[in-house]
Structures are given as C-alpha cells and as structure tokens.
Chains A and B, each alone.
Chain A
C-alpha cells in the first residue's frame, strides 16, 4: 500500500477534517486514494470531487506541483508523493 501525503485546503479541508496527513490506502491510483478518504458528509472524497469519471471542474488535485488533468484519475501514485486537494480558487485576480 503506497503512503502519500495528502494536503487539504479550504472547503476540502473542512470536509475531510484535516489539513495534512500521511495516508496509506488500498490500491494505487488517485481514484483509489480519493475513495479511501472519508468526508463529513458521510461519503468519500471521490464522491465530492469526481463526477462522471472526471475530476469536477470546481476542484483541483495537484500532485508534486502539477495539476492532475480531469480525466486522469487512474494515474498511479508513488509512495511519498505530495497530493494537494482543493476547491479551485475562482476569484483570484490581479495584475
């Protein structure tokens, strides 16, 4: 079972109840990881972040600094990787 560090920001943090945590999970993919993390609503992070087999447009998963394309939920995770989950910050402006 790979162990990754999951960082949850903003709304996702409130749903999962932690800011950062080392997580070992059954499986190897991003989808497996999201399925292994429960939320306060009673379901899993997969229920919150995934719709029709794609990452929902208003959420982002960033692995080792690179945003995960919405259709790549089957990406394999390596042990020790850094996974940031968050709602997309829509309102950032400036410049």
Chain B
C-alpha cells in the first residue's frame, strides 16, 4: 500500500517518518552501488578521475571499486570494446552477482564511436549485455559519468519488488545467463544476443 506523497510530507513535518520495505530496500541499494574495477580504454582515465577527490564519486556511495566481479554491482564499460575483448567483457558480466547494472560510457561503448568502421571493433556492447545507462562523449567528462550514476540511482529507486514490472534479478523466469560470443571465421558468433538487442529496422 502506497502512502500518499502529501500525507508523507505532512507527517514528516510532525516528525513521523513513513516508508515501505521497497523504498528502504531501493534506498539502500542505490546508495551502495559498487562498480567493478575494470577499464577498457581512454574513458577509463575519466572514470578514474571521477573517483578522485575533485569529482568524488564517494558522495554517491560508489567509491568502492571491487577487483572481483563477485563483489561488484555495476560494470562501467569505459572505452572501445574490440571483438577480441568482447567475450571477456560478457563473461565478466555473467560472473557478476545479481543485481547487476551496466553503464556504457562513451561513444565507443555505445556504438563503436570513431572506430565504428573498424573490422575489429564491436559496434556497441548492448549487442550482448543489457545496458542500463548510455552516456555519449569522446570521452565523457567526469560530470557526465556522475550524471549517469544519478540516472542509474533514479532507475534503482523506481524498482518494484513484486509484480509485472519488477527487475530481472527478482524474476525467477527472467534470463540469467547471457551467452558469451566466440571467435568465428569472420566475426564474433553469434554477432548479437537476440534477447538483448533487436536489429534496428532499415529506413530507406
């Protein structure tokens, strides 16, 4: 049962704090998103800068970069994903414990960026794993990464524990494994995860 927003504010003025388990849970989760210590290319330098004193990611409870996927909640795809690297990225994502989130940082992680025409560059990591927040930029400034963090926090805040719209990790039926691509003769096989990425329709 949701408490009316105005009633909550009114109660707050009287010194009464009303919440639900869902709100408490989301509040705890969104303020303790631990990213994985994992950088791919030049965007990683901006990511490192974001954690340092000047930009101070610790304000969002996300300064604890974990060196193991088992302890991490968030994967920041910070840079160009080459086809050589893509299977490793997908495998790392698979090895993270649920709930897990992904921020695709920079033009390369979103779409291949300036290297899109390259034969060895993956045209966006969202072909294999579900991405929660995309940030454009080449590279995005630390402020942009912080913006992505806040967007992710807002997203986590809106999660429902039960019902139809609940996130993947609370749904027993939802997909838990994301197939790791393999090196084929000409390209990664499969070239995309059909459950995650739908081929855009060509408009002529």
Q: Do A and B come from one complex?
A: no
Residues of chain B whose beta carbon lies under 8 Å from any beta carbon of chain A? none
